[in-house]
């Protein structure tokens, strides 16, 4: 595939991907811990930016840092087969290419960023001759050093792969909220109250007007709740919540959980951060609406925890 055809394919398949992404419902919602549509879009843009930076380097710098290729490029079909086999064998994305965990940027802005990145990418690619696409090596985090032409083949295939991924999410999204009240709460604990503390899961599991009453305070709104959780987890490092007992009513619109939350003290109650392992128990009653958690009332052993912290006693109940 020559450079002109490569550019045509880059434009075509990225445009298809962005059109799919912009039309899908709930683009910010992740399902079963997988990337949301927004995160898929940001991931594609990250890849474009990194390769665009490579293409913009002086050729002498590329030769010095990555060397010259000692072979001709595999053709497009063989390259795609290699890429597909790697993805089907469960190859994981390296950290440098991962999107933000708690991504809040709107899908429209993410798509606009992607389009801008592709335009710069193609401008940089125009400065490469057909011979240079074969001559220079380009580092890939999974495949090692491959030719520049092959990395361009990968870029074309990569965006098609993610287009198919987000298209499948539409059907999953339609079925994603068939969880029982028990599973809603347990998934909330697992994803939000265990590392890596996926605050974006709140968008999936809670209603937009979600409210929580805790410690004499009412937090109203899903975004406000995310902020509240984030601030609390700054004061309780490595926070995790384990359900001890859980049940829900026959109408499936109320669910009750008895739980234990634990972590390392980083300034709870305005006290001195001492990195001490602590834990406290609590009971939460949730209301469920439209297969999402919509309201919560919490009673927790805050007084006992406070007394424990000011006494300096070691907590032996750390989960």
* Per-residue pLDDT tens over the stretch 146-188: 999 999 999 999 999 999 999 988 765 555 545 789 999 999 9
- Do 193 and 232 belong together in one domain? yes
Mean pLDDT of 266-291: 91
CATH code, domain with 224: 3.10.450.50
Residue 160's alpha-carbon distances to 76, 87, 208, 260, in angstroms, are 14, 13, 32, 44
Is residue 317 in a domain? no
Between CA 276 and CA 176 the distance in angstroms is: 38
Q: Are 28 and 110 in contact (CB under 8 A)?
A: no
Is residue 319 in a domain? no
Domain boundary among 130, 154, 174: 174
Q: CB under 8 Å to 235, separation ≥6 — which residues?
A: 265, 266, 267, 268
- Do 185 and 269 belong together in one domain? yes
- Report the predicted TM-score, pTM, of the whole model to 2 decimal places: 0.60
- Do 101 and 154 belong together in one domain? yes
Q: Are 20 and 167 in contact (CB under 8 A)?
A: yes
Fill in the DSSP letter of residue 36.
P
Domain boundary among 152, 174, 196: 174
Return left, alpha or beta for 29; rule: phi > 0 is left, psi -120 to 50 is alpha, else beta: beta
Number of domains within the chain: 2
Kindly state the percentage of the chain with pLDDT values over 90.
71
Would you say residue 30 has pLDDT above 90?
A: no
Is residue 109 in a domain? yes
- Do 117 and 236 belong together in one domain? no
CATH code, domain with 124: 1.20.120.450
- Do 162 and 70 belong together in one domain? yes
Residue 240 tokens, joined: 């995790």
Q: Residue 80 has what pLDDT?
A: 87
- Do 187 and 150 belong together in one domain? no
Comparing C-alpha atoms, which of 240, 237, 207, 243 is closest to residue 225?
A: 207
Is residue 318 in a domain? no
Mean pLDDT over each residue of the chain, to the nearest integer: 90
- Backbone φ, ψ for residue 235 (5° rounding): -90, -15
- Do 239 and 127 belong together in one domain? no
Residue 204's alpha-carbon distances to 20, 36, 187, 235, 258, in angstroms, are 20, 10, 10, 25, 23
- Do 128 and 258 belong together in one domain? no
Determine the distance from the C-alpha atom of residue 44 to the mean position of all C-alpha atoms in its chain, rounded to a whole number. 13
- Backbone φ, ψ for residue 181 (5° rounding): -55, -40
Q: Residue 286 belongs to what domain range?
A: 181-311
- Do 90 and 195 belong together in one domain? no
Range of weakest confidence among 23-32, 34-43, 96-105, 228-237: 23-32
Is residue 295 in a domain? yes
Between CA 18 and CA 251 the distance in angstroms is: 41
* Per-residue pLDDT tens over the stretch 193-208: 999 999 999 998 999 9
Is residue 103 in a domain? yes
Q: Residue 314 has what pLDDT?
A: 54
- Backbone φ, ψ for residue 195 (5° rounding): -55, 140
Q: Residue 308 has what pLDDT?
A: 83
Residue 289 tokens, joined: 């609406």
Is residue 31 in a domain? yes
Between CA 134 and CA 82 the distance in angstroms is: 18
- Do 82 and 155 belong together in one domain? yes
Is the N-terminal amide bond of 141 cis, ω within 30° of 0? Answer: no
Is residue 316 in a domain? no
Would you say residue 317 has pLDDT above 60?
A: no
Comparing C-alpha atoms, which of 298, 206, 227 is closest to residue 258?
A: 298
Would you say residue 72 has pLDDT above 90?
A: yes
SS3 64: helix
In the chain, which ranges are E strands? 137-140, 144-147, 206-214, 217-220, 236-248, 254-265, 277-289, 292-300
- Do 20 and 163 belong together in one domain? yes
């Amino acid at each position: 595939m020559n450079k002109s055809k490569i550019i045509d394919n880059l434009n075509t398949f990225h445009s298809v991907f962005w059109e799919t992404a912009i039309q899908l419902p709930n683009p910010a919602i992740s399902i079963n811990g997988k990337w949301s549509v927004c995160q898929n879009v940001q991931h594609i843009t990250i890849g474009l930016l990194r390769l665009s930076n490579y293409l913009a380097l002086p050729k002498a710098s590329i030769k010095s840092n990555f060397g010259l290729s000692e072979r001709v490029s595999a053709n497009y079909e063989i390259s795609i087969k290699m890429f597909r086999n790697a993805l089907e064998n469960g190859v994981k994305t390296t950290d440098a290419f991962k999107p933000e965990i708690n991504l809040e940027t709107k899908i429209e802005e993410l798509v606009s960023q992607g389009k801008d990145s592709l335009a710069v990418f193609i401008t940089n690619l125009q400065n490469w001759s057909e011979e240079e696409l074969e001559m220079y090596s380009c580092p890939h985090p999974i495949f090692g050093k491959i030719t520049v032409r092959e990395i361009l083949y990968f870029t074309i295939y990569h965006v098609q792969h993610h287009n198919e991924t987000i298209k499948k999410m539409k059907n999953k999204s339609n079925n994603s909220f068939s969880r029982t009240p028990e599973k809603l709460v347990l998934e909330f604990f697992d994803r939000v109250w265990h590392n890596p503390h996926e605050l974006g899961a709140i968008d999936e599991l809670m209603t937009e007007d979600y409210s929580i009453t805790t410690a004499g305070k009412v937090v109203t709104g899903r975004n406000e709740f995310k902020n509240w959780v984030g601030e609390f987890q700054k004061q309780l490092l490595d926070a995790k919540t384990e359900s001890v007992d859980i049940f829900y009513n026959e109408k499936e619109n109320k669910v009750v959980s008895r739980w234990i939350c634990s972590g390392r003290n980083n300034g709870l109650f305005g006290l001195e951060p001492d990195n001490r392992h602590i834990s406290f128990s609590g009971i939460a009653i949730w209301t469920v609406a439209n297969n999402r958690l919509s309201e919560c009332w919490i009673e927790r052993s805050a007084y006992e925890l406070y007394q424990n912290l000011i006494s300096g006693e070691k907590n032996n109940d750390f989960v």
